[in-house]
């Protein structure tokens, strides 16, 4: 999207202004949703708080990058910007500590840079950890408290014992079993081998998991 880099810059400026002027960061940042529509003055809205206009001077010339209100691109951008977790982290962001500005900016990329199979793997991974937490299988092994240079509150880092990911072994076993059946079938040419959809998904998951190692 043409606006991504400019919105990241706007995000940095909003965070810096919030720290310097002691103002709420999300309403300042959310004004970008008006700017990209080529709307620079508007009626008061909840997402922009007390701000009803852009801070820049009058713009001149054609603006081909404008996103119409009903366009898919604008609706996608609005959905990303107003994500609850992003707005929450934005409110805590500071150039001197708190939520990392890089993490906050990267939140703009995450929703449009994911892959379905990667999401499935990540979900299975997190569910494994959650179930282990519920069962009391994850225990703190070591705890560190780190004092940041520009932040009063210490950061607490907890190291917990690893949890065996049984689903990984099951995927590998199923994939290897299916491949052994293919290799043992001497009457079928390799080009004619039929792979079921379930097995193909398992093979794809195995490839993605291997690439992440």
Q: pTM for the full model?
A: 0.47
pLDDT tens-place string over residues 81-127: 999 888 988 888 877 655 555 665 665 555 555 566 666 767 778 88
186 burial type by CB count under 10 A (0-12 exposed, 13-18 middle, 19+ buried): exposed
CA 87 – CA 81 distance, rounded (Å): 7
pLDDT tens-place string over residues 186-199: 544 444 445 567 66
């Amino acid at each position: 999207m043409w606006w991504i880099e400019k919105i990241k810059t706007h995000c940095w400026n909003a965070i810096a202004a919030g720290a310097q002027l002691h103002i709420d960061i999300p309403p300042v940042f959310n004004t970008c949703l008006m700017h990209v529509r080529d709307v620079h003055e508007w009626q008061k809205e909840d997402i922009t708080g007390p701000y009803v206009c852009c801070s820049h001077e009058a713009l001149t010339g054609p603006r081909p990058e404008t996103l119409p209100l009903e366009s898919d691109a604008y609706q996608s951008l609005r959905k990303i910007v107003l994500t609850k977790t992003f707005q929450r982290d934005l409110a805590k962001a500071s150039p001197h500590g708190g939520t990392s500005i890089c993490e906050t900016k990267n939140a703009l990329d995450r929703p449009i840079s994911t892959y379905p199979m990667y999401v499935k793997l990540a979900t299975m991974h997190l569910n494994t950890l959650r179930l282990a937490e519920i069962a009391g299988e994850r225990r703190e092994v070591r705890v560190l408290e780190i004092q940041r240079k520009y932040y009063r509150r210490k950061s607490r880092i907890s190291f917990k014992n690893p949890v065996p990911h049984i689903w990984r072994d099951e995927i590998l076993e199923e994939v290897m079993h299916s491949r052994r059946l293919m290799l043992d079938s001497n009457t079928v040419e390799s080009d004619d081998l039929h792979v079921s959809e379930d097995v193909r998904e398992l093979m794809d998951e195995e490839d993605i998991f291997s690439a992440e190692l």
